[in-house]
Structure 1
């Protein structure tokens, strides 16, 4: 999917540090590394509410489109437009045979009680 030049934004990416807990390496969000990636586009927004639960939590999803080679991984967190999302699955590369629309697609999800 080509990214429209007029709508490109910068996003913030946070990656957890690592620590050992009970002999296993686990994510440590008390010391994340942070980076900013420019030339991104966020699209395909979706939201839903779970009305079966008293708090009626909302789930918001979007797709993050990044320039080729951007460093975003499963387990990272992304901040876009003041909202924090988790990378939901593996980022996928979409190379173009002509190089004009190469990009990465990253599924994002935000679970919150108030949407």
Structure 2
């Protein structure tokens, strides 16, 4: 488990409506320090909510702003 600071940006909200179920997903972009040990099987806690990682983390080793970027999501209802 890793704990630390990152930068979170809203990505979008997706709603799926049907007569049987109405669901919404919140999607975020998260920028973390380069080399943070993450995989697509991990989760991220942000403001008390757990978010699933969508796809593999992108490790950006170039330039002065080395970072790891992940896209995360959670079902809202």
TM-score, normalised by the number of residues in structure 2: 0.86
Aligned Cα RMSD in Å?
Answer: 1.5
Q: Decide which moves more: 48-57 or 63-72.
A: 48-57
Higher relative contact order (CA 8 A, sep 6+): 2
Cross-structure match for 2:16 = 50
Mark the runs of 5 or more structure 1 residues left unpaired by the alignment: 1-33
Cross-structure match for 1:75 = 41
Q: How does 1:34-113 map to 2 (within 5 A)?
A: 34-36=1-3, 38-97=4-63, 100-113=64-77
- What is the aligned length? 77
Measure, in 2, the Cα distance between the counterparts of 1:48 and 1:90. 21
Deviation at 1:43, TM superposition (A): 0.8
Larger Rg computed on CA atoms = 1
Mark the runs of 5 or more structure 2 residues left unpaired by the alignment: none
Measure, in 2, the Cα distance between the counterparts of 1:46 and 1:108. 11
TM-score, normalised by the number of residues in structure 1: 0.60
